[in-house]
């Protein structure tokens, strides 16, 4: 009798384990699908002339979006150089793409000239800034990170730590993918052309 109870107990435990495993396997797949269909990045930021620009304005175009700052010593210039090369190599198809540089150091970057910085790489790159709240909201929307760090050897005594990804947003405003830092222009170009 005791053996029978043990067997029943083991079968119950096995059944519960199977149910738990099934829930574990199915749940991430459902979450992934939901995540992909609901993940929309957005911004409400000003251009160099002070005009408010929003995500909706670029409906119908692909967006290449990068978060950085004008005093960035290497990551930002390297990435924006790759974006500039992509825009040149797209030729007439460049009209289908809007490259955007969003400042994570808006107060200083407005003073230094966000347009001058962005256009030094390519005239199509749109530089955007906002107040602290709008900047943080845009970064959170893109799931990107930035943080001010004290640095005695840097201009004004600080620098900015930030994610180095380049984000690709689709014509309907949907997040398509991110390109890791160091992704060459030809790889970005190839991906874009495959979507036209």
How does pLDDT run across 147-165, given as a tens digit for each residue?
Answer: 999 999 998 999 999 999 9
How high is the pLDDT of residue 17? 44
Helix (H) or strand (E) run with residue 101 in it: strand 97-103
Helix (H) or strand (E) run with residue 65 in it: strand 62-68
Is the same domain home to 113 and 149? yes
Is the same domain home to 100 and 178? yes
How high is the pLDDT of residue 40? 80
* For residues 12-26, average pLDDT: 41
What mean pLDDT value characterizes the chain? 85
Residue among 155, 7, 2 nearest 69 (CA) = 155
Give the C-alpha distances (Å, rounded to integers) separating 10 from 6, 13, 14, 17, 114: 6, 5, 6, 10, 67
Is the same domain home to 112 and 93? yes
Lowest mean pLDDT among 23-32, 39-48, 163-172, 177-186: 23-32
Q: What is the pTM of this model?
A: 0.79
- Local confidence band at 6 (pLDDT 50, 70, 90 cut-offs): very low
How high is the pLDDT of residue 32? 32
Is the same domain home to 110 and 24? no
* For residues 26-35, average pLDDT: 34
What is the CATH classification number for the domain harbouring 115? 3.40.30.10
- Structural domain that includes position 122: 44-195
Is the same domain home to 191 and 113? yes
How high is the pLDDT of residue 51? 96
Torsion from C-alpha of 5, 11, 15, 17, nearest 10 degrees? 90
Q: Rounded to 5 degrees, what angle do the CA atoms 98, 68, 132 make?
A: 100
- Local confidence band at 1 (pLDDT 50, 70, 90 cut-offs): low
Give the C-alpha distances (Å, rounded to integers) separating 90 from 30, 68, 166, 192: 37, 24, 17, 9
Contact between 172 and 66 (Cβ < 8 Å): no
Burial class (CB in 10 A: 0-12, 13-18, 19+), 182: exposed
Is the same domain home to 7 and 76? no
Statement: residue 66 has pLDDT above 90: yes
Is the same domain home to 104 and 63? yes
Is the same domain home to 68 and 28? no
Q: In sequence order, which ranges of 45-131 are alpha helices (DSSP H)?
A: 75-90, 106-112, 114-121
Lowest mean pLDDT among 35-39, 57-61, 150-154: 35-39
Is the same domain home to 60 and 34? no
- Local confidence band at 27 (pLDDT 50, 70, 90 cut-offs): very low
Q: Tens digits of per-residue pLDDT, 101-128?
A: 999 999 999 999 999 999 999 999 999 9
Is the same domain home to 75 and 18? no
How high is the pLDDT of residue 132? 94
Is the same domain home to 65 and 27? no
- Total domains present in the chain: 2
* For residues 77-94, average pLDDT: 98
Q: Which two tokens stand for residue 168?
A: 């690709």
Statement: residue 194 has pLDDT above 70: yes
Is the same domain home to 27 and 54? no
């Amino acid at each position: 009798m005791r053996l029978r109870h043990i067997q029943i107990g083991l079968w119950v435990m096995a059944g519960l384990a199977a149910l738990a495993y099934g829930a574990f396997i199915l749940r991430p797949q459902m979450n992934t699908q939901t995540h992909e269909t609901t993940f929309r990045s957005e911004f409400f930021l000003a251009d160099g002339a002070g005009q408010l620009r929003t995500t909706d304005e670029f409906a119908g175009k692909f967006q290449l979006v990068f978060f950085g700052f004008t005093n960035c010593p290497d990551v930002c210039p390297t990435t924006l150089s790759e974006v500039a090369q992509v825009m040149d190599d797209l030729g007439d198809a460049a009209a289908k793409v809007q490259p955007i540089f969003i400042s994570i150091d808006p107060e200083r970057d407005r003073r230094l000239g966000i347009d001058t910085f962005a256009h030094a790489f390519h005239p199509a790159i749109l530089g955007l800034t906002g107040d602290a709240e709008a900047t943080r909201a845009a970064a959170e929307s893109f799931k990107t990170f930035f943080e001010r760090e004290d640095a005695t050897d840097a201009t004004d005594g600080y620098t900015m730590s930030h994610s180095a990804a380049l984000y690709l947003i689709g014509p309907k405003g949907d997040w398509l993918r991110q390109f890791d830092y160091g992704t060459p222009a030809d790889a970005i170009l190839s991906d874009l052309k495959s979507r036209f």
